[in-house]
Structure 1
Amino acid sequence: MNIGELSRLSGLPVKTIRYYSDVGLVPEADRSPAGYRRYDHDSLVRLDFVRTLRELGLDIATIKRVLERGEDLGAVAAAHAEALGVQIRVLRLRRAALRAVSRREPTPAELDRMTRIARAGTDERRRIVDEFFDSIFAGIAETPQAAQFTARMRSVSPDLPDDPTDAQVDAWIELAGMLREQDFRARLQEMSKRSFDPGERRLTPTDMSEISWFTGHIAEHMDAGVAPGSPAAVPVVAAVLTRWGVADEDRDQLIDQLTLAVDERAERYWRLMAVINGWPPIPATMHRWEWFLNALRECRGPLA
């Protein structure tokens, strides 16, 4: 068949077929007496194969190696699939950044920051997280308990999967921005220092069952409409202080500790981590702590 017939059967333009012939991908089977290219059925099969590989994104040089040198097509396909996976992940991050931009009106500096976050690869994301931890753990007392705590925190750092969902990408964009906030870092650094200060007596519980009791206790009264400054809040606060063993004279110290610890960003950090790492959703409880802190401040006088 001539090149026109091959074009009709394959659906490819004559110009494309001629180019593939010139570079050796689909050489003609013969030449007519007048010098025109002639092709056979094998040429059509080879042309379909070349077109398929081109549609999959393989370049001319790679296809030529597969056809002429017998290079393992499976290995070539695997390598290109991995490269496409990287491109897809980058595009998802960029799309998430664009969505974030569309939801707000960022300053030029914020836009630049979001763009750099979206372009960050695995190593860069790890560097952002490590640098964040380095900053908040700087200066804390060097004790076995502190070392164990910092190691545990680093072990549960955000780990964006190779094939993240849109929600995971959005969560990473938000979290990466939060990790760069200097006032958030300073707050966490102060919390870390106090946690391991031998002269600081912690008045709030660390046991999860106690924390669960607390949030349930506060939720019961919050959801019933009890305001933190109302007389009805007094016995609610008193029950908590009695259970925790906090005396009236220690109330100001407890207020000081909670003022530092009650920060929506700290809870948001863990909720974003849950999305990124594929953990079960973490319920919001910080508003319960805020209610209790406000009640502590406003319910002055004996609580008994």
Structure 2
Amino acid sequence: MDATTLYSIGELSRRTGLPVRTIRFYSDAGVVAPTTRSPAGYRLYDLDALHRLELLRTLRELGMDLATIQRVLDRELSVAEVAAAHADATDVQIRVLQLRRSVLRAVARGGAGPEETKLMHRLTQLSGEERRRLIDDFVEGTFGASGTADADPAAAAMVRAATPDLPDDPSGEQVAAWAELAELVGDEDFRARMRRTAGHRAAGRPLDIESEAGEELMEFTRQKVAEAVESGIDPLGDRGARVIDDLVHRFAEVLARTPDTRFRDWMAERFEEAHDPRVDRYWRLVWIVNGWQVVPDLVPVYPWLVQGLRSGRPRTSPRG
């Protein structure tokens, strides 16, 4: 084979593995034009055409469009330039496919309905920048834009420091958590709850009831509730009621109050000031989305206590 060798379409097909009709299409499109024609009018191609066709096939198999390939063959673009751009595009496609896979796994595992499935799919289609903007809008809408009179810089900084960032290849659990987070941050009631509780956490100041009860009782309370949470005790069950009732009587004794239903409601309101269940759920979802290890000491215990306090009248006798 040399530079003077001419090939028919059939010979090109045998050498490249491309169907005759495909080569004819490329020829008619001017991508691989015939060098000449035989006396009978059949198209003939030289060695350069064969090389162009082999490169064309390779680039097509890599997913490049015909217009871009034409520019490469005409040397308007280098193969390296096109490969770099196409690699970037392929990265985007891979991320999209990974997110789709994660959505499907979340749906399969959790039994999500049509609306939940559409929501998860729509949210994962957002770019990383769009997801960050969603959280930025939530922070500004909740704590005020930076520099405004109603801004709470410490609380906003705390929330921004733990911005949820969905990875490129999330698990189904992370996708489901992100979808739940996106719904939370758009809810005005939740924003009000976050405003109320985040200031306490950011400032690191104790609740009034913590100061009034004293460190000894508060340490005892955190220990007992943490043990109940770790043991999976239901705050609404009989075992939970015994823990709650014992704590109510201890607080009533220290604060010189009557351990009745009104006092239980008062305690619940005081503990809810910095530990709202929906806000605590937000932080748990952030941990999941970011793939952070949940530290047991940081798991809020007050929501369990509040739920038990809200359950109604005491169901156990006072401690002796």
Cα pair 1:31 1:38 within 8 Å, conserved: yes
Q: Secondary structure at the match of 1:26?
A: coil
Instruction: Specify which of 109, 112, 119 is matched with residue 104 of structure 1.
Output: 112
CA distance in 1, matches of 2:218, 2:156: 22
Aligned counterpart for 2:78 among listed residues 57, 64, 72: 72
1:211 shift after superposition: 9.5
Structure 2 contact 246–319 (Cα < 8 Å) conserved: yes
Corresponding residue of 2:286: 273
Q: Partner residue of 1:164?
A: 169
Q: Is the 8 A contact 1:175 1:269 kept in 2?
A: yes
Match of 2:129 among 105, 112, 123: 123
Q: Following the alignment from structure 2 to structure 1, what is the Cα–Cα distance between the partners of residues 117 and 291?
A: 28
Matched, 1:150 2:122: no
C-alpha distance in structure 1 between counterparts of 2:9 and 2:103, whole Å: 48
Q: 1:281 to 1:78 in 2, by over 3 A?
A: farther
Aligned to 1:49: 55
Is 1:7 equivalent to 2:4 in the alignment?
A: no
Question: Could you tell me whether the CA contact under 8 Å between 1:262 and 1:290 is conserved in 2?
Answer: yes
Identify the residue that residue 247 of structure 1 maps to in structure 2: 255
Distance in 1, matches of 2:161 and 2:192, equals 21
Is the counterpart of residue 218 in structure 1 residue 225 in structure 2? yes
Task: Please state whether the residue corresponding to 2:241 is helix, strand or coil.
Answer: coil
Change (3 A) 1:71 1:227: same
Q: Deviations over 1:10-65 (max 9, x none)?
A: 22111111122233333334432222122345443432221121122211121121
Secondary structure of 1:229's counterpart equals helix
Q: Out of 50-59 and 246-255, give the one that drifted further.
A: 246-255
User: What amino acid maps onto 1:191 in structure 2?
Assistant: T
**CA offsets 1:235-274 (integer angstroms, 9 cap, x no match):** 56677x69xx973559765421324555443333223322
Q: Distance in 2 between matches of 1:177 and 1:221?
A: 30
Alignment length, in residue pairs?
Answer: 288
Instruction: Tell me, yes or no, if the aligned pair for 1:172 and 1:272 is still in contact at 8 Å.
Output: yes
**Partner AA of 1:164 in structure 2:** D
Which whole-Å CA distance do the structure 2 matches of 1:285 and 1:214 have between them?
Answer: 14
Give the AA of the match of 1:58.
M
| Of 218, 227, 232, the match for 2:239 | 227
Q: Does 1:186 align with 2:186?
A: no
Q: Which runs of 5+ in 1 are unaligned?
A: none
Contact 2:102 2:170 in 1 (8 A): no
More displaced, 63-72 or 19-28? 19-28
Root mean square deviation of aligned Cα: 4.3
Work out the percentage of aligned pairs sharing the same amino acid: 41
- State the SS of the aligned residue for 1:203: helix
How far, CA to CA, are the matches of 1:31 and 1:181 in structure 2? 72
Look up the equivalent residue of 1:160 and give its one-letter code: L
When the two structures are superposed, what TM-score results if normalisation uses the length of structure 1? Answer: 0.72
TM-score (normalizing by structure 2): 0.69
The correspondence for 1:258, drawn from 252, 271, 276, is 271
